[in-house]
Structure 1
Amino acid sequence: MTNLHETLLHRQRLIVQGMVQGVGFRPFVYSQAIRHGLVGFVFNSTIGVTIEIEGTSQATAAFQRALREELPPLAHVVSLTCEPIPLHHETSFLIVHSEVGAERRAFISSDAATCDECLRELFDPTDRRYQYPFINCTNCGPRFTIIQDVPYDRDKTTMRVFPMCPSCQREYADPLNRRFHAQPNACPVCGPHVSLLGRREDGTMHHIECQTPITQAAQLLATGTILAVKGLGGYHLTCDAFEQEAVRRLRQGKQREAKPFALMVPDITAARQLCWVSEAEAQLLHSRHRPIVLLKRRDDNLVAPDVAPAYDSLGIMLPYTPLHHLLLSAFAAAHQPGRPTALVMTSGNLSEEPIAYHDEDAQQRLHTIAEAMLIHNRDIHMRCDDSVVQVTAGGEQFCRRARGYAPEPITLSFDLPVPLLACGAHLKNTFCLGKGTQAFVSHHIGDLENLETLLSFREGIEHFQRLFDIFPEAIAYDSHPEYLATKYALDTPIPRKIAVQHHHAHIASVMAEHGITEPVIGIAADGSGYGTDGAIWGCEIMMADLLQFQRLAHLAYIPLPGGEQAVRQPWRMGAVYLSRAYGDAFLDLDIPFVRAINRARWHILSQMIEKGVNCPPTSSLGRLFDAVAALLGLHAAEVAYEGQAAIALEVLAATCRDQVTSYPFHWQQGEPAILDVIPIITAITDDILRGEPPARIARRFHLSITHMLTIACVEARKQAGCNRVALSGGVFQNRLLLEQLMTNLEERAFQVSINRRVPPNDGGISLGQLAVAAAHLRT
């Protein structure tokens, strides 16, 4: 006869997937089970977390409610499955050892900034971890950068070489302690430690014997020294942000002529002394992700001019490791009182190289720049640069997605038919691995223009494959035949290879992010992408779904004289546009730009254009911005990096407070239609001849482009009956342009979507490639 008590009890097995390992999820489950009087067990596995609970239906329902509504700060549940199973009649609830299975579906948390509780302990003289630079718990600390394999246990991280002392072990084993199974758990007795290195005259580094290396490092910074500092995902190069000579030496040593340096400040108060900070920006600065946030600089900002020459913004981040907190605190005590505390904190590399993260490599590569090094002996397994974000159009927009966000997945609205790898683009590369409904976009790899970055790309793919048990059966790549990522894809033994047009991938990245399945009007605007006709595309209005696209309109083709040389020397594009507008007579125009042209060099270029030698046609909006910047005297001769002239044009336009009207352009009907901007060029030239202020011209140009793209969407709606617009491409990092365009479109009842979870630049291409490839595989 069935026991009446048994009919009141039931047992369930729950499989939980998502961000549930290394984030305090099991102790949370334990505490909830005890709270609701349940028995059973919980353990980590390679697919997530398995829970078995036994108790009354009321108690199990309350337990499941807590799993949905009361999670720890870093935890995130993607799926929860539940099935009834026979009773076991345990008398307690246990956390048992991890189970290693054949299939891996566990997620890995990104590195998380030091939590408030650990921060209080860090500066509490009575705490045993007082001023210990590796303090952490289940709610904060390193994750992705130290993990070597799953399930996420200490012996599968770089912390395995530090056996825990009895005190740390007790915390680690206590389910009610916030350091329960915190894999990087350590203290001054048993954990990693910091060292200070000095540079000898021959350039080699040697250990400096001192009791307080962080304090000593801060004192060196206060005297103008450049330091290399080992962080979570690699080395930073740092110096006093107010010391112009140190910043100048750092810029010279990094061979970084013009790109701005990021700054680290201790708190929001210091950030507000340097920049204007909105509430949304403050929340982003203080989030557990701790990205670099691009902020509008204050006019009374006294930061060294070479930190961000010619920019109206600064990249600011708050400290995200205990070492950073301690260094900034010691530096505040060491530098001259009465000014904000701010350190330049830029990637530890030479320009265009990946960030240094191995100690020996860092000493070899950085010894000519860093005059001392603050290092530690906890190994970094996976390099990961800082993320860069701005707040625009009412939300976050990534410029670079890396530390603090990667490798957290993006959940798709569809199932991938097979495991997939998307190789991304040539510049600002990321790759993306996908399986089921999860897309794992990698951390920022960089420009695939040297062996070191290509090796980082390959190593990253292998690591992600191992962590997420994704071994692709199909591979997607950019259709440009010379991209190194494309060559990698074509060389792999993966049987199914799918080429994806660059700008289709841009639009598909927006669609994948937002779960859009119906066709959209896509505007892809950037510097360059290989077109289906062999031209260099870059301002494309298309009707697109994930499977295919139709090019409805584009910027009129214009020669790109010298190919890549035209990217580096904006005057070439300025001269080409003027020659299209005025013919050879443009050389008689009495404007500063024309007077500065080297006639002999232009003669050679004009011959190249006439003969079609190394002058591919381009519809690039990025190159049009370069041309107008050059006409206004902004970086006309040469730029240090792609987009520098366009950024200067945006900065200039933002200074104009006048009400302005747009310049005319010509819409040439056809399939596709052509956007002819020569009327804009002639109108700008007329304004220059009349002596109009450059800022006013720059503002009118921005307004003209938004007007032109708005008209293009209106025409596309007439043609296709579509009301949804997706905007993507590096040009849409221009806040002024993006916000004006979105306002225009929304006023005309368009529904507008933009990239929010991946960058609109080529860092988001891999997600779009994955989505397009999946659509092809489903057909």
Structure 2
Amino acid sequence: MVSSVRTPLDAARARRCTIAIEGVVQGVGFRPFVYRTAVRHGLAGSVRNSLQGALVEVEGDEQSLRRFLDEVTAPPAATSARRRVTTQWGEPRGAGETFRIADSARDGEARLFPAPDLAACDACLGELSDPRDRRHGYALLACAECGPRFTMVAALPYDRERTTMGGFAMCARCRREYETPHDRRFHAEGIACPACGPRLTLHAADGALVPTSDPIARAALALRNGGIVAIKGVGGYHLACDATAGPIVAELRRRKRRDAKPLAVMVEDLAEARALGHVSEAEAGLLASSARPIVLVARRATAPLADEVAPGCRDLGIMLPYTPLHHLLLEAVGRPLVMTSGNASDEAIAYRDDDARRRLRGVADLFLVHDRPIEVPCDDSVARVVRGTPQLVRRSRGYVPLAIRLPLAASRPVLACGGELKHTFALVRGEHAFLAQHLGDLAGERAFRAFLDAVAHFRRLFDLTPEVVAHDLHPGYRSTLYARSLEGVERIAVQHHHAHVASCLADNGVDRRVIGVAWDGTGHGTDGHVWGGELLVADLAGFERAGHFELVPLPGGDAAIREPWRMAAVFLRAAYGEAMTGLDLAFVRRLDRAAWRVLSRAADQGLNSPLTSSAGRLFDAVASLLGLRDRIGFEAQAAMELEALADPEADRVYPARLDDGGDALVVRTTDIV
């Protein structure tokens, strides 16, 4: 129990109010806020963290209590959309004449909403740049309003000893700030300074310590001179290089084995972001938000960036610095930096120091490292603005583990295992779904281990044991195999595209029957075919397949996804028959006739040629027919390049017949081709 102050209390008019607040109230400076508010209103009692959130027990005159209640249950005290407040009034029990922050309670069922990682606040950045401040130039400063949260919490309630800061003893000055009620770092569990740590070091590729009094300046010099630097951040390692130097970006791609997939760029401020892209006010708001996602914006033709950053793409992924380390580094380098996840292509992000040095040794020339452990990995989030509305493309750092409120409450705890690609999962308790961070493609062994670790961490964090496990209908997905390995649970298989529509319903708080359009690359259908261009009549519980794109063979199975020319030939033959080879088209002239004869015969015989209604394969076919790409280097590359070529102002439509397929309408996509 710490921090108390005497306050006058008129016992003649006194009442007692017990306030239980569930939601995002730990790691956001809520207890200090409650403390200061209670003292200002002359109230006595206490506030403490618990496994249920925050518990406030307060006594005073009723008018002051109600004013206090209005303040502590309204923004910015906590994230109001993600919390629940219950109050109980009664007679005073003699709380005394003080208000205090009491020790955390660890009994009862956990009902906490841990906070996400938060970008450095303006006050901390002011200290960072102030030569008179003791934290001037300190790359790891934070306060009650900002800094790591989710990625440094080992267990709840949120107290320093249960975070990765627990190993850093506070110096006398930090301890004084931590215990001073009106200080910005009052009960800031991530409080740090140069005296008590954490600290930065610079290492060579072989792990040897680079002797320097200024690791950031040395790293910045290396970046300006064409080096590639691995940087330990909040949720893992980044690989950074000069984004204006084409040969350097190309070398990073070669080392990382990421030939063409777009890379994100970090810039110092919004002015630099606007120099690279056409940034709307909504996009600027996203870029500067406390979540600091990568935001996809339209690239300027005059952007001073290497073409190798995002070849063939109209959009550019930009983010602003979100840690003091980033701010110092960007200022020292003086130019935009590529900031890509510290991994080889399609692997899970590296976040443990030894593992990062082992995996990135052949990629990075230097390692800029701090000694604060990362409890869980968390990759950057990706967002874009569509018709003025922000939409998350990848929900991860800055948003996880915030809950999504569901339109229906689950009667039992649920684990939703997710799919295979761009994986995440969710734990559900009552009306709240807790989505995990982006984990990558589960086909990779490291990503699958990251999935297992994340499930275990979420179960501990939320004190939740699932009784129902939902998984994709596909029998071969690793998430499905994991679900089937669990004992003592009820398992529910969910069709992939119904899951898409249901998630859209849940995300919008809708609980009714709708017409849902689900277009993607692949999904196991109830008829055994590969779905992907679906029109469903669905609600949260079930669906009917009302329509779909026509079925065409996928010659060679997954090879047809990697080689869009195969789908182009399939659609041409479906539209023109064998006469396709006589068409006066550039695609036909470059077609490998011998290879196509083998594939077409196999397709006719149903050999390794499953039928698909995939919209993604239609986009691939059109991209190949237009000469954009016959083979891809990463998922959806052909479709992305087709999107970049498309006129966003075009309003014409492609006619296509709707045929009665018996159970569902069939869209004749060959008409479009």
- Report the Cα offset of residue 494 of structure 1: 3.6
**Residue type of the alignment partner of 2:636:** G
1:667 paired to 2:658: yes
In structure 1, which of residues 106, 113, 116 is the aligned counterpart of residue 119 of structure 2?
113
Partner Cα distance (2:143, 2:79) in 1: 11
In the alignment, which residue of structure 1 is the partner of 2:672? 680
In the alignment, which residue of structure 2 is the partner of 1:64? 69
Q: Deviations over 1:173-200 (max 9, x none)?
A: 122211111111010000111111123x
Partner Cα distance (1:60, 1:227) in 2: 54
In the alignment, which residue of structure 2 is the partner of 1:144? 150
Partner Cα distance (2:230, 2:449) in 1: 23
Partner Cα distance (2:160, 2:510) in 1: 40
In the alignment, which residue of structure 2 is the partner of 1:234? 236
In the alignment, which residue of structure 2 is the partner of 1:406? 400
**Residue type of the alignment partner of 2:180:** D
TM-score, with length taken from structure 2: 0.97
Q: Deviations over 1:217-264 (max 9, x none)?
A: 101100001110111000000011011111011000000011011000
| 1:191-590 matches, cutoff 5 A | 191-199=197-205, 204-332=206-334, 341-590=335-584
> Is contact 2:10–2:61 with CA below 8 Å preserved after alignment?
no
**Residue type of the alignment partner of 1:188:** P
**Residue type of the alignment partner of 1:573:** M
- Report the Cα offset of residue 413 of structure 1: 2.5
- Structure 1 vs Structure 2 CA RMSD: 1.4
Paired residue secondary structure (1:421): strand
Partner Cα distance (2:112, 2:598) in 1: 59
In the alignment, which residue of structure 1 is the partner of 2:50? 45
- Report the Cα offset of residue 63 of structure 1: 1.1
> Is contact 1:20–1:75 with CA below 8 Å preserved after alignment?
no
Q: Quick one: percent identity of the two aligned structures?
A: 48
1:163 paired to 2:169: yes
Partner Cα distance (1:76, 1:210) in 2: 47
> Is contact 1:388–1:400 with CA below 8 Å preserved after alignment?
yes
In the alignment, which residue of structure 2 is the partner of 1:79? 84
Higher RCO (Cα < 8 Å, 6 or more apart): 1
> Is contact 1:18–1:77 with CA below 8 Å preserved after alignment?
yes
Partner Cα distance (1:563, 1:41) in 2: 64
Paired residue secondary structure (1:527): coil
- Report the Cα offset of residue 59 of structure 1: 1.1
1:132 paired to 2:138: yes
Sort the Cα spacing of 1:434 and 1:73 in 2 relative to 1 into closer, same or farther, 3 A. Answer: closer
Paired residue secondary structure (2:86): strand
Partner Cα distance (1:7, 1:398) in 2: 54
Partner Cα distance (1:76, 1:516) in 2: 17
> Is contact 1:20–1:77 with CA below 8 Å preserved after alignment?
no
Q: Deviations over 1:710-745 (max 9, x none)?
A: xxxxxxxxxxxxxxxxxxxxxxxxxxxxxxxxxxxx
User: Which ranges of structure 1 fall in alignment gaps of 5 or more residues?
Assistant: 333-340, 682-779
- Report the Cα offset of residue 662 of structure 1: 2.7
Partner Cα distance (2:69, 2:265) in 1: 44
Q: Deviations over 1:492-540 (max 9, x none)?
A: 1142000011011100001111121110001111001000000001111
> Is contact 2:47–2:101 with CA below 8 Å preserved after alignment?
yes
Partner Cα distance (1:241, 1:478) in 2: 39
Partner Cα distance (1:673, 1:559) in 2: 19
Paired residue secondary structure (2:32): helix
Paired residue secondary structure (1:454): helix
Partner Cα distance (1:225, 1:441) in 2: 36
1:628 paired to 2:622: yes
Partner Cα distance (2:392, 2:485) in 1: 31
In structure 1, which of residues 626, 630, 640 is the aligned counterpart of residue 633 of structure 2?
640
Partner Cα distance (1:532, 1:346) in 2: 38
In the alignment, which residue of structure 2 is the partner of 1:18? 23
In the alignment, which residue of structure 2 is the partner of 1:731? none
Partner Cα distance (2:10, 2:192) in 1: 46
Partner Cα distance (2:569, 2:560) in 1: 11
Q: Deviations over 1:660-707 (max 9, x none)?
A: 6333211113431111122211xxxxxxxxxxxxxxxxxxxxxxxxxx
Partner Cα distance (1:668, 1:410) in 2: 39
In the alignment, which residue of structure 2 is the partner of 1:702? none
In the alignment, which residue of structure 1 is the partner of 2:3? none
> Is contact 1:25–1:75 with CA below 8 Å preserved after alignment?
no
**Residue type of the alignment partner of 1:85:** G
> Is contact 1:73–1:139 with CA below 8 Å preserved after alignment?
no
In structure 1, which of residues 28, 31, 37 is the aligned counterpart of residue 36 of structure 2?
31
Sort the Cα spacing of 1:5 and 1:371 in 2 relative to 1 into closer, same or farther, 3 A. Answer: closer
Partner Cα distance (1:486, 1:660) in 2: 41
In structure 2, which of residues 646, 649, 653 is the aligned counterpart of residue 653 of structure 1?
646
> Is contact 2:11–2:60 with CA below 8 Å preserved after alignment?
no
> Is contact 2:240–2:338 with CA below 8 Å preserved after alignment?
yes
**Residue type of the alignment partner of 1:224:** G
> Is contact 1:68–1:77 with CA below 8 Å preserved after alignment?
no
Partner Cα distance (1:402, 1:262) in 2: 15
> Is contact 1:28–1:71 with CA below 8 Å preserved after alignment?
no
> Is contact 1:14–1:51 with CA below 8 Å preserved after alignment?
yes
Sort the Cα spacing of 1:661 and 1:313 in 2 relative to 1 into closer, same or farther, 3 A. Answer: closer
> Is contact 1:25–1:71 with CA below 8 Å preserved after alignment?
no
- Report the Cα offset of residue 467 of structure 1: 0.5
Paired residue secondary structure (1:626): helix
- Report the Cα offset of residue 77 of structure 1: 5.2
Greater fraction helix: 1
Paired residue secondary structure (2:415): strand
Sort the Cα spacing of 1:516 and 1:645 in 2 relative to 1 into closer, same or farther, 3 A. Answer: same
The number of residues matched between the two structures is 663
Q: Deviations over 1:87-135 (max 9, x none)?
A: 1231111111111113111111110000000000000000000000111
- Report the Cα offset of residue 76 of structure 1: 5.9
Partner Cα distance (2:75, 2:202) in 1: 43
**Residue type of the alignment partner of 2:46:** F
**Residue type of the alignment partner of 1:8:** R
**Residue type of the alignment partner of 1:143:** R
- Report the Cα offset of residue 70 of structure 1: 4.1
**Residue type of the alignment partner of 2:19:** L
- Report the Cα offset of residue 568 of structure 1: 0.4
- Report the Cα offset of residue 437 of structure 1: 1.5
Partner Cα distance (2:107, 2:647) in 1: 57
**Residue type of the alignment partner of 1:249:** E
Paired residue secondary structure (1:537): coil
In the alignment, which residue of structure 2 is the partner of 1:744? none
> Is contact 2:554–2:560 with CA below 8 Å preserved after alignment?
yes
Sort the Cα spacing of 1:660 and 1:171 in 2 relative to 1 into closer, same or farther, 3 A. Answer: closer
TM-score, with length taken from structure 1: 0.84
- Report the Cα offset of residue 317 of structure 1: 0.3
Partner Cα distance (2:81, 2:668) in 1: 49
